[in-house]
Structure 1
């Protein structure tokens, strides 16, 4: 027997816990729960109000909300966590291809995305950023419907990432800028590189600097298949980057790649055509933000991920790793993180047991911990354990070598204390 539960959260808004749908597969083979309670009531294009669900996410899984569109339109998708929950959303089309996503654009830890979608069936996946248990409200609606989050309302007011843009003034960088597109989804956007096609490695790169409130959209032309990196830098503005095609195709979005700066790496070559860069400021849209295009460098990209502590570096001596030796029972080490760059430590465990790792700020720090096994799989992550800003990981480990990445997001380069304790099963 299948138990189905549904609650009413708002006018004509269906609300359901994350229960599986019928046997039919959606979005490339997955299943989910119709946002309106059933397929007929989940066509956002014909809805007179938003559709809403309560998502309960456990054990690192995702809540999948299904919805239909009977006609092309702009759709607003939001998720707002309850308590300390930090939801992340990802939107897939009927083939399973990712067409959009977001983390934190809704304001605080809430997520919000505004997408121009064609008719079809879509899935919105809501997951927990740090894999902690999550209860969240998810809402899908037209731009005329009431927004769930503050950021969602701002997306609708500003046009979000669906194209267009203010062509206001500002100080341009070394590419001169100045020219504007006059058609397509990038219509009215300021051209980077003056509209000249970018090719190959892009030489020294192209950049332009303006306040996001003045110039929220840029465009550039690709002349031949090109892999490239796009960055938006000014941590005080906290920019969010979105890359779309001039036909409205969504390619990528990023927030907080390097501190509060954003970066998109297009490792698959962009084909000739015009592309749009959309910007949103999560903090201060009046501050200058530098947007740069550079040729994608896989070595530099890997180095950047090591520096951020998000990917484990090789243990062949090519990247600095501090060895801590075998953890016998308890060890304490001091570390001072410089800027946003991670400090890496290696340790050895000689028998199966529980490994407890703590990062404690001795001053005004906010440490973050990640634990990886010897083949680079992340097996532990934590930020802000308990009621404070210190971090703690407890992981079951087996004999072998492990890597610990220690970062700090306070921006103050504090002194941190790394504490490790090992517990073995009782005999």
Structure 2
């Protein structure tokens, strides 16, 4: 009989919210250093996936930057399926550990979309599933563990229709002799080697063309060199892939900066020819400016500050607006015209910090990063808990903090309103 997902979820939330939770808990299960671990089936006997009549399921409420750990048993070798499906914009991922704390496997998106799923055979024993949010933001997710004959929670990456399409493509490739001598499948128009014509590009220079005009660019380095490759063209939404002269895949990127792409090859490339393949995810007729230049660590650091992905020093060397001490509440308006705006503030006493960033005219998509005075990331949020506005809630101690506020609608100049509120523990 299929369990009611809603009933399970509501009962789980209620149990989690009380001190007398119905889920038996074990201390430091699987050697993960976690003191609160819930049996997937309520207790050890109900969590033996080898013998249960149906799958077991929990609803996990994961706060920002935290983990949720669930435990299950196998009394015999069993083919199991582990699945996690988020609600709303949640993006769950999980890790599977055995009783000794050995990491066995991890998954993010194999369940289709942002859902995680693994099907595997496990020997008898005790196992733990550590569930967390991919971007460390607050998350609500269902976790289901069962045998492979039980009902699925996720759709899976490849359903029957997709598999049929892949098989058809492979058959066509065999007919058209598209497999190379080493058995690899040559996708036309995606790989690039010395036999492919590519528009030449000098180190330290740029070239502009649409993907339809120039699908490949080539550059040459004469001595070992770290390089940076950028592709800029918001209307095109460029996607770039780097290959060596033999068609060997090196790396790829999409949406490093807004819709623009960037590759940083920090480890020096060997002397030789290299090829960049171009794809336009939006408009293949729209121009894209491609640049190749020597990697500059200082420039990359400045880019990290500008995007909010790293915190600048609190020594006045990088533009930052100093706010008043956060005793109770601060409201600040800002207009984002590209790079994030940085703010610093001091918290005289620890507690709960709530940060909200909303669009005044409803036309933006804000995000926030929070760092302590050492530059350690305390929290991040985009699109939560509802809509495109941001909300971050996290515990803090007294001290100095840095807040970066940005807008994913890059360069639109959208007015944003920021709210910082501090809540202290009841006494």
**Structure 1 residue 278, shift from structure 2 partner:** 2.4
- Is the contact made by 1:373 and 1:403 (CA closer than 8 Å) also made in structure 2? yes
Q: Give CA-to-partner distance per residue, 1:19-64, whole Å, 9 cap, x none.
A: xxxxxxxxxxxxxxxxxxx9xx9xxxxxxxxxx9845589975458
Which residue in the other structure is 1:139 paired with? 157
Match of 1:217 in 2: 216
Q: 2:99 maps to which residue?
A: none
Question: d(CA) in 2 for partners of 1:325 and 1:307?
Answer: 23
Give the drift of 1:406: 0.4
Correspondence list, 1:98-137, <5 A:
128-129=134-135, 131=137, 133=139
Q: 1:364-404 CA distances to partner (integer Å, 9 max, x unpaired)?
A: 22211111112222221111223322111101001111111
- Do the aligned partners of residues 350 and 66 (structure 1) sit closer, same or farther apart at CA in structure 2, a change above 3 Å counting? closer
Change (3 A) 1:310 1:275: same
Check conservation: 1:384, 1:390, Cα contact below 8 A: yes
2:413: which partner in 1?
413
* TM superposition shift of 1:420: 0.6
- Aligned-residue Cα RMSD (Å) equals 4.2
Check whether the contact 1:353–1:396 (CA below 8 A) recurs between aligned residues. yes
How far does residue 164 in structure 1 lie from its aligned partner after superposition?
A: 7.1
Does residue 188 (structure 1) correspond to residue 196 (structure 2)? The answer is yes
* Alignment length (residue pairs): 305
Name the structure 2 match of 1:426.
426
Contact 1:266 1:296 in 2 (8 A): yes
SS of 1:326's equivalent?
coil
CA shift digits 1:281-325 (9 cap, x unpaired): 221222121111011111111111111111111111110011113
**Could you tell me how far 1:211 is from its partner in structure 2?**
1.8
Structure 1 pair 131–386 and aligned structure 2 pair: CA distance change class (3 A): closer
Aligned match of 1:319:
318
Larger-Rg structure: 2
Please say if residues 55 and 137 of structure 1, whose CA atoms lie closer than 8 Å, have aligned partners that are also in contact: no
Q: Which runs of 5+ in 2 are unaligned?
A: 1-43, 58-76, 97-102, 117-131, 143-153, 167-177, 180-184
Partner of 2:336: 337
Specify the alignment match of 1:99 in structure 2. none
CA deviation vs aligned residue, 1:234-290 (integer Å, no higher than 9, x gap): 011111222232344433222211111111111111111232222222212221211
Residues 215, 277 of structure 2: 8 Å contact kept: yes
- Is 1:262 the equivalent of 2:261? yes
Distance 2:352 2:418 in 1: 17
Q: 1:262 to 1:164 in 2, by over 3 A?
A: same
| 1:253 and 1:264 in contact (8 A); partners too | yes
**For the residues of structure 1 that align with 2:283 and 2:418, how far apart are their CA atoms?**
35
Asked whether 1:400 is paired with 2:406, we answer no
Sort the Cα spacing of 1:53 and 1:396 in 2 relative to 1 into closer, same or farther, 3 A. Answer: closer
* Inter-CA distance 257–386: structure 2 relative to 1 (3 Å threshold): same
Aligned: 1:253 with 2:259 = no
Deviation of 1:86 after TM superposition, in Å, equals 8.2
Q: Separation in 1 of the partners of 2:236 and 2:406?
A: 21
Q: 1:276 to 1:184 in 2, by over 3 A?
A: closer
Alpha-carbon displacement from aligned partner over 1:91-122 (angstroms, at most 9, x marks no partner): xxxxxxxxxxxxxxxxxxxxxxxxxxxxxxxx
Q: Which secondary structure state, in structure 1, belongs to the residue aligned with residue 385 of structure 2? A: coil
Per-residue deviation, 1:145:
3.9
Mapped partners of 2:265, 2:218: distance in 1: 16
SS at match of 1:325: coil
Q: Equivalent residue of 2:323, what SS?
A: strand
Residue in structure 2 matched with residue 243 of structure 1 by the alignment: 242
> Under a length normalisation based on structure 2, what TM-score does the superposition of the two structures give?
0.60
Structure 2 counterpart of 1:378: 377
| Residues 156-193 of structure 1: per-residue CA shift (max 9 Å, x gap) | xx99xx877659xxxxxxxxxxxxxxx97453141423
| Equivalent-residue separation in structure 2 for 1:235 and 1:315 (angstroms) | 33
Q: TM-score, normalising length from structure 1? A: 0.60
**Corresponding position of 1:346:** 344
